[in-house]
Structure 1
Amino acid sequence: MSFITTSCGHTQADRAISGAGLGAATGLVAGAAVGGAAGTGMLVGAGVGAALGGLSDESKINLGRPWWR
């Protein structure tokens, strides 16, 4: 997950936003797959993804400009 979030954006905010989106999607799928609350999985995943994205640095990898810019 941290590899994915470090690749989406030049700024710390860009990486936090993309990390939140990726984390929410992952949490939603994981929550539904284990028979738990998909919404709770989505919220937890978004929080973890935003934290990982925000704490990463740009020098890891760069896949280009974020789609929301």
Structure 2
Amino acid sequence: MTEITLHLDPVRHRALADLADAQGRKPEEVAGEAVKAYLRSEGAVVRRQAERLAGEHSELLRRLGE
């Protein structure tokens, strides 16, 4: 597993620690789950935009592929 350092202001750090404590988890686990959720969400947004653009420019893409 690759390591990353996340700098949080004191308020967010405390909120993360409190949430992790309430869930009986480590702050690193909570942060990791948040990153996974963000990547899924943003990945879906990017896929929708790419599909929209491909649809809008399908004729140009077809001609470029010839």
TM-score, with normalisation over the residues of structure 2?
0.36
Greater relative CO (CA pairs within 8 A, separation 6+): 1
Larger radius of gyration: 2
TM-score, with normalisation over the residues of structure 1?
0.35
Question: Counting helix residues as a fraction of each chain, which structure ranks higher?
Answer: 2
